[in-house]
Structure 1
Amino acid sequence: MCFKLKMFIFKNFLDFVKFSFLLIIISNNLIAASIDFSYTSVRDKILESERVAATGGSIWLNAREAKANAILMKAKNQEITEGLRNPDIYAPSMHFFHAKSRIRRSEVFRIISKMPKGSFLHGHQRGMVSSKWIIKNIMSQFNVFSCRDQRGIFIFTARNHTKCVTPLENVCTERNNSPDKKQYDRVLEKHINMFTLHPEIGLTERNKLWEKFENIFYATEDIYKYLPVFREYNKRILEELYADNIMYAEIRSSLSPLYCDRNRNYSSLEVLNELEQIVKDFKKTHPDFIGMKIIYAKKNNANKAEMCKRIDTFKELYKAKPNILIGFDIVGQEDLGEPLQKFIDELSELPEGANFFFHAGETNWFGKTDLNMLDAILLNTRRIGHAYALAKHPQLWDTIKSRKIAIEVNPISNQILGYIWDLRNHPAAFYIAEDLPLIISGDDPGIWNGKALSYDFYYAFMSFTSAHADLRVLKQFALNSIRYAILTPEEKRQFNKIFSKKWDKFIDEIINSKY
């Protein structure tokens, strides 16, 4: 190879790879005869440097993990090869509603389903439980009524609801009188699930998607405030998380007051007490479950006086329950809500020890809604919900890295709410390539029957990462969810110990093909 070509390859290699040992070599000798700078060698070194720089790149696999990794990568490579042959039916590129049945048949998904995933760190309380379970259990086993408001929107309740403009109908009675009970349940479920046969329509009608999404929360709000339902529902949250090999959760909740049959109301503090007891009871029968904590979350349509009142309420609750209440967030459709900048004064009053976990950058806009990310960082947020627009703001990347502000990535949610279709083009692919702090979560999996985290982990692994990314990135996703959780030192020590045991068992199951 001629000297000029060697120098050209060497220069491009240095442009890509900036390791300290290379700088030492340069300072001693411009080109070292002992180093192979052939085209293939340089190309391999660049690819290896990308792998090392990405999420999971620093993880070392032991012998058994390496054996399990070979099985995982064989399955991944087979799916990718088939996808190249038949790109129109390649599940990682398809909308979840079209791909779900294909994903369930995936060997990669079966492995991921058995994987210990650590923590669920971005979820909304009333969107966590499978809608099918709600229909089968809540709607059929409790004294639930339905009506419609003046807009024609369904409301489920256990009391005389002031917004009802149609007579209350007993759901159980209607089902019993239905000639086809299964069809009745399917129709009922449409009011609490986002599924549609034609999700492609939503790409041009995002506001309508959000309207349907928020109407689901509106429809179920009152029935989930009914104390007996509240208890069963939140117990079910823990059951579904645990069934998907999740050991801890931080859930966003409005902590709205509850009601019961005796015309008694339960305050927000009593709601926290109820949640605390539900978690304690669950841990008695599931000792390897670490727990669940709450992020106080209110809608982003408030005025300054209302926001001030919300912060005051949070202060009172946090003072009483700092062990379970960990922070504050503002939620809702970000493009139509009030910006964080409007509430800078009010949000500066957070009590010491509490954290912000702001939704910010859940948008396709540039220079408008996405600026919430800047304000979230300036307000010292602990994590950022979604940060979908972060790739457009390079000045924020180093700050996020140096301050270890984790991005809460919710793949399926971003797709279902119309921000992206093919998840291979999601900006999280860049976040992973740059090893930005991030966790993978599910947002509202119950509203699209998303099985806690497994489907989101599948998309993250198959759509966001390189074809060469392997078990190391999956392990890093789980470890990140522990690292960026709000845990006491003792909780973190216990968590890491339990996770390590579960991970070793998972590796053995892969090797022995028990997945």
Structure 2
Amino acid sequence: MLKLEDYISERNRILKKEQNLFLGSTLELNEKESKLDSHIIQLKCDELDVSYQNSEDFIPRRHFFKCKNEIENSKIFKILRDLPKGNSLHTHLLASVSIDFIIKNITYRDNAYGKVINSVFKIKFLKREDAEKDGWVSLKEMRSKQLNFDDWLEKQLSLIVDCPQDSYPSLESVWKKFKGTFSAVYDMLCYKPAFEEYYYQSLKELFEDNIMYGEFRATPMPLYDLEGTHYKTEDFFESMLKVEKKFKKDHKDFIGARYIHSVYRRISSDDLKKDLEEIILMKAKFPKLIVGLDFVGFEDEGYSLLNFYNDLVSVREKLDFFFHAGETNWFGHTDSNLVDAILMKSRRIGHGFALSRHPQLMSLVREQNIAIEVCPISNQVLLLNEDPRNHPAVPLLSQGFPVVICSDDPATWGASGLSYDWYVAFMAMTPKDCGLKVLKQFALNSIQFSALDDVDKKEAMDVWTKRWDDFISKMLINL
């Protein structure tokens, strides 16, 4: 039997070896960073110590709708808001702008009308005569007749409810409402002036959260105006570029944005062929903006990537893949998309929630250096994982896998930017004594695994490094 001091020595050796495997552990902090690291770890421990007395007090284990305000009051969260987080790599464009902004700005525009279609309240911009002819009602009129109309409207455009457990008793029920929120805003945001205001705000919300670049999952939107003009697909991309150019002029440290084309999982093979033909043509016209392809939608009721193998491999040389895969709690069922995402050379995998159940796939992910886009709040709100301490990405973090923390559809649950997801990941998915190293690695990974070309990636790293150094200095002054 080992003597106590030998036992303690062996114990510490094992723990240290595990610590050295965790994401970010290989980074070397300078003197200034080390000082801030100690401060952050102390704040983290202070916040966690309260939770050890009663696990009900642990903020991230409660539903995001119930704990958002407490997150915002956290000292750790306030640091994360100021911390340069690099790039946002997994956000769906139609859920990227806060509902509050949409309601207060876009829905108060003239000629905004509403109507229930297939149990979904939709908003569209119309001339008065066209609206009345088709049964649309002015939002201005609705507001004059319904008390707290904007509160009601928030619930139509988001998942936010007072009691999520009662409103969404199953994964299928929350996904049904979730899909409805995209349908609710779609016609409204296809109005060209509204779309351009919306997209500018989307970039602004990233920038205000200390993010310098964003990649958006979307489909080309059929833009229109009140004069009856229906714009072409290329006009949608021209609008994106016009807004980005203006935003970069207004915000000198913003690197830019890119578009990842999203295909709905239940698409037919014939429609997919047409869709791919069009996006390849658009890629030729907008080679820098359009960077890749993804499949989106509820995996449990969608087709496997394998169903589209021939069509996908035919465009692999022209479009990078960034596939959602393994966003499921099934084992040996819909999680087989992970195999296909890896074999088809997806550069990143969206969610990868089921990955840690598959040792062979984990080996391939590490070997091929495929980044996993982890979206902890999305996984909680969409009922894959109730308590992020039990998130299946924790084993990936603990073994130093390439992970990026992402936001998915932040506006749908009342978030914005990346700080909320970073907070949940940092507080619930990393060890108590894990501090600035993992946060720095999150940011570095977001740059390394972005779709930026080498020249733009170098620019992004230069901008981020300066902002990082400024952040460290500013934080130390205020200690």
1:166 deviates by 7.6
Residue 70, structure 1, aligned to residue 29, structure 2: no
Among candidates 179, 190, 205, match of residue 225 of structure 1 = 190
AA paired with 1:274? S
Whether the 8 Å CA contact 1:155–1:164 is kept in 2: the answer is no
1:305 aligns with 2:258: no
How many angstroms apart in 2 are the aligned matches of 1:131 and 1:278?
Answer: 20
| Counterpart residue type for residue 513 of structure 1 | N
Q: Is residue 87 of structure 2 the alignment partner of residue 159 of structure 1?
A: no
Deviation digits for residues 144-182 of structure 1 (CA, Å, limit 9, x no counterpart): 110011x3211111138999998211112322x2464xx
2-structure distance, mates of 1:68, 1:217? 41
- Describe the SS at the equivalent of 1:442: coil
Instruction: Please give the alpha-carbon distance, in whole angstroms, between the structure 1 residues aligned to 2:298 and 2:146.
Output: 39
The DSSP-based 3-state class of the residue aligned with 1:232 is: helix
User: Does structure 2 conserve the Cα–Cα contact (< 8 Å) formed by 1:209 and 1:417?
Assistant: yes
Shift in Å, 1:197: 2.1
Among 201, 212, 222, the alignment partner of 1:236 is 201
Give the direction of change, closer, same or farther, for the CA distance of 1:60–1:141 in structure 2 (3 Å limit). Answer: same
Distance change in 2, residues 1:57/1:73 (3 Å): same
Q: Does 1:194 align with 2:194?
A: no
CA distance, structure 1, for counterparts of residue 394 and residue 133 of structure 2: 48
Do the aligned partners of residues 86 and 142 (structure 1) sit closer, same or farther apart at CA in structure 2, a change above 3 Å counting?
Answer: farther
Deviations 1:211-265 (A, max 9, x none): 1000000011111101010100000000000000000011011112211122111
Task: Determine which of 61, 66, 69 is the counterpart of 1:101.
Answer: 69
Q: For the structure 1 residues 280 and 200, does the alpha-carbon distance in structure 2 shift closer, same or farther, using more than 3 Å as the test?
A: same
User: Could you tell me the percent identity over the aligned residues?
Assistant: 36
**Aligned-partner Cα distance in 2 for 1:494–1:422:** 38
CA distance 1:203–1:432, shift in 2 (3 Å): farther
Shift of 1:444: 0.7
Cα distance in 2 for partners of 1:46, 1:269 equals 57
Per the TM alignment, residue 204 of structure 1 is displaced from its structure 2 partner at its CA by 4.2
The answer as to whether partners of 2:96 and 2:416 remain within 8 angstroms in 1 is: no
For each residue in 1:400-423, what CA deviation from the matched residue of structure 2 results, as whole angstroms up to 9, or x when unmatched?
Answer: 111111111111011100111111
What letter is aligned with 1:65?
E
State the SS of the aligned residue for 2:330.
coil
2:375 is matched with 410
CA distance 1:49–1:284, shift in 2 (3 Å) = same
Task: Tell me the TM-score normalised to structure 1 length.
Answer: 0.90
Pairwise CA RMSD: 2.0
- Which among 386, 411, 414 is matched to residue 446 of structure 1? 411
Query: In structure 2, what residue type is equivalent to 1:501?
Result: K
- 96, 99, 102: which one aligns with 1:128: 96
1:266 maps to what in 2? 231
| Superposition pairs of residues 20-99 of structure 1, within 5 angstroms | 38-99=6-67
- Structure 2: 5+ residue stretches without partners: none
1:29 maps to none
Tell me if structure 2 keeps the 8 A contact 1:279–1:292. Answer: yes
Match in the other structure for 1:500: 465
Contact 2:329 2:384 (C-alpha < 8 Å) held by counterparts: yes
Q: Partners of 1:364 and 1:204 in 2: how far apart?
A: 16
Consecutive unaligned residues of structure 1, counting only runs of 5 or more, are: 10-36
Match among 280, 299, 302 for residue 245 of structure 2: 280
For the structure 1 residues 162 and 319, does the alpha-carbon distance in structure 2 shift closer, same or farther, using more than 3 Å as the test? farther
- The residue that corresponds to 1:22 in the other structure is none
Structure 2 residue 347 is the aligned partner of structure 1 residue 382 = yes
Deviations 1:65-84 (A, max 9, x none): 11111111111000110001
Letter in 2 for 1:487: L
Match of 2:356 in 1: 391
Structure 1: distance between partners of 2:388 and 2:316: 38
User: What is the distance in 1 between the residues matched to 2:472 and 2:441?
Assistant: 15
The residue that corresponds to 1:185 in the other structure is 150
Distance 2:126 2:355 in 1: 44
- Distance verdict in 2 for CA 1:162–1:204, change over 3 Å: farther
Secondary structure at the counterpart of residue 53 of structure 1? coil
Change (3 A) 1:265 1:179: closer
Indicate yes or no: 2:301 matched with 1:336: yes
Computing the radius of gyration from Cα coordinates, the structure with the larger value is: 1
- 1:404 to 1:136, Cα distance in 2 relative to 1, 3 A: same
SS in 2 for 1:69: helix
How many residue pairs were aligned?
Answer: 478
State how far apart, in whole Å, the 2-side matches of 1:391 and 1:203 are: 27
